[in-house]
Structure 1
């Protein structure tokens, strides 16, 4: 088993390291990871097998703990964990939901009863963002801070808003809804919004779903056009698509790709660290492959892992500044969650 150390050097190289691998939980747990923080704490959901109760999980120092929903609720979802090991999630019951915090093995309610919220992210400052259902059937983005709920205003003339991610500097990114779709917007802690990109580009990017933001304000996600998903990045209001895997890196799928001349590869980006490393997945009609993007290069994670065991890496969902990556795939044919930890050398340490 790979040990999770409390303090570790960050990676400085633009070349991906080799990785060791650790299985998280067991195949019977059916874990669905969502986030990893700087100390290697992993959080996510636990898919039920023979019960209607949907629990969450937290993995720390190699130990996985299943966290059941609080009394009166049937579902608990963990969405994010900050670097102070405070977890945010949502407890859901019949006609009710509450934002919850999990710290020191205790669940506490953050949102007020009756708000019908969904938590999406937490900053190191403890500020939480998410979504609240309105009585008119629409939604508003929300900010929870110091026991106070602040609604994120839609852009002028729009009807609804969503808050998906928050940076270390308090920049919130989400959607503002209008009659033809969604506009990417950014908000401050007071709920004031401005467009994330220029007005004339709204239509092109209205379907981009922001998934993560780093302290430099760089946003990653996936855009959709004509049913095609493409991993993308926005920095300083400049949009770019992340590269696909070359066909020679998809050897086991090459026959299928050659047979179908149209572009059949799709991709999704799920997280970005301070150095701009991005993780996600590249998908063909026959398989999904976990990927790492560094600068303008894309790498298959299975090309970077040193192991004699039979693993398939389907998706990478989160990474930290130490280069650790969490995702899900198969080990010896059974679905499971993996944690990759870089093999550090003196040249790679800062």
Structure 2
């Protein structure tokens, strides 16, 4: 089983696998419930990707028991398929949902390309992609309707983290001035974005670095913000950031002593200055890192 998201009430969504089929799952108050049980045939899949604070779940199924496939939301356990950009197409996937019920993901458009997609108030919208790329994918959406994901040409060397905001498509770039690949995984209601950037995208075994895009949407390597006085300074490698909440807490994974570990970054207060710093305590072993903040 895998858990992919949690809301403020502690409802967790994800998947389990019974050896031949993958089922969309929900966990609440330590009780497990199946949103979609795949009984059709071996290899069928369903997955719950996100849940909002009203308990509405977004995800997908590739072959449901009623013959339909694609992006889906579950409300109180009731399933609703979302229409694709192209009529009759099953090539859709829901990955994020906000508290307004807006859903982000991807769908196959009229030209046969998979594009980041927004479902809002009964309408489906092709969000497009950064110029120079053929495809895009939306990962998450916040309550302001900001969507994050990536634009790509279908391979690692051509993939850039992307923000869709107020009708604009913003290339978030990467740690190497846009020369390497990057991915945006989550955005909070303050507009802070986390993800990762590959060091050498021409090498599929290349390392990645956890990244945050904040005030001016410039990619910042979270690893470079580790406090020099921390015992693990220079010893921990933060490979990818996967989630950020409205408290500024960040989760992801990295390496310490050659072993892969999950991390949790917890913000703590600092002394206010004209250009103050907010510190983050890393849950691997108390690593403290700080992030530059712009005064309002």
TM-score using structure 2 length: 0.76
Shift of the alpha carbon at 1:140?
A: 1.6
Instruction: Indicate the larger mover: 316-325 or 102-111.
Output: 102-111
> In the alignment, is the contact (CA less than 8 A) between 2:38 and 2:46 conserved in 1?
no
Give me the whole-angstrom Cα distance separating, in 2, the residues matched to 1:345 and 1:95: 51
**Counterpart position of 1:33:** none
Give unmatched runs, 5+ long, in structure 2.
Answer: 201-205, 279-295
DSSP-derived class of the 2:36 partner: coil
After superposition, what is the alpha-carbon deviation per residue over 1:91-121, rounded to whole angstroms, capped at 9, x for unaligned? 2224434322112222122335648522111
The alignment status of 1:298 with 2:219, answered yes or no, reads: yes
Aligned to 2:223, the other structure's residue is in SS state helix
Inter-CA distance 112–134: structure 2 relative to 1 (3 Å threshold): closer
Q: In the alignment, which residue of structure 2 is the partner of 1:278?
A: 193
Query: What does 1:1-350 align with in structure 2 at a 5 Å threshold?
Result: 76-111=1-36, 114=39, 116-134=45-63, 139-160=69-90, 161-178=92-109, 180-188=112-120, 192-197=122-127, 207-225=135-153, 227=155, 228-246=158-176, 264-285=179-200, 286-294=206-214, 295-306=216-227, 307-309=230-232, 310-345=235-270, 347=272
Shift of 1:345: 2.9
Distance in 1 of aligned mates of 2:105 and 2:225 = 33
Is the 2:59–2:72 Cα contact (8 Å) retained in structure 1?
A: yes
State the distance in 2 between where 1:320 and 1:182 align: 28
Displacement, 1:137?
8.9
- Provide the alpha-carbon RMSD of the alignment: 2.9
- 1:61 maps to none
2:30 and 2:195 mapped to 1: Cα distance?
30
Residue equivalent to 2:291 = none
Q: By how many angstroms is 1:204 displaced?
A: 6.2
Separation in structure 2 between the aligned mates of residue 203 and residue 293 of structure 1, nearest angstrom: 20
Match in the other structure for 1:29: none
CA contact (8 A) 2:85 2:126 kept: no
Cα distance, 1:238 vs. partner?
A: 1.0
Inter-partner Cα distance in structure 2 for 1:127 and 1:202: 30
Kept in 2, the 8 Å contact 1:141–1:162? The answer is yes
Deviation at 1:337, TM superposition (A): 1.4
Q: Following TM superposition, by how much is the alpha carbon of 1:127 offset from its aligned partner in structure 2, in angstroms? A: 0.5
CA–CA distance in structure 1, aligned partners of residues 135 and 67 of structure 2: 20
How many aligned residue pairs are there?
A: 256
Alignment correspondent of 1:17: none
Task: Provide the rounded CA distance (Å) in 2 between the counterparts of 1:311 and 1:187.
Answer: 40
Structure 1 residues 328, 211: closer, same or farther in 2, change over 3 A? same
Is the Cα contact below 8 Å between 1:184 and 1:202 reproduced in 2?
no
Structure 1 unpaired stretches of 5+: 1-75, 248-262
RCO higher in structure (CA 8 A, sep ≥6): 1
1:256 maps to which residue?
A: none
Q: Is the 8 A contact 2:147 2:164 kept in 1?
A: yes
Q: 1:222 to 1:184 in 2, by over 3 A?
A: closer
**Alpha-carbon deviation of 1:334?**
1.8
Q: TM-score, with normalisation over the residues of structure 1? A: 0.65
C-alpha separation between the residues in 2 aligned to 1:288 and 1:214? 25
More helix by share: 1
